[in-house]
Amino acid sequence: MKNELKSTLRFVVLIATPLCLVNGLIFSLGSQDLIQAWFSRFGFTFLVTFPQAVFYVSVVKWFDKRNKV
């Protein structure tokens, strides 16, 4: 179980971090202080996205494992 959680968290970090960085940049391009707005947006989107992604990936893994038996 511990290895499954570790692999799930690693996968989510590898996927969610670049997505949040790119989305934060896209929504911050028009602002006066780009760097501050970009990191602020990144922080907010990461805090929202990361728990959701962990939940969704865990549910999909559970559902997939359940259907293989």
Q: What is the pLDDT of residues 33-49, one digit of tens each?
A: 999 999 999 999 999 99
DSSP 7: H
Q: What are phi and psi of 21, to 5 degrees?
A: -65, -45
Q: What is the pTM of this model?
A: 0.76
Contacts of residue 9, Cβ cutoff 8 Å, sequence gap at least 6 = 54
Cα gap 1→22, rounded to integer Å:
32
How far are the Cα atoms of 4, 26, 58, 64 from residue 68, in angstroms, in the given order?
16, 40, 15, 6
Give residue limits of the domains in the chain.
2-62
The better pLDDT of the pair 5, 36 is held by 36
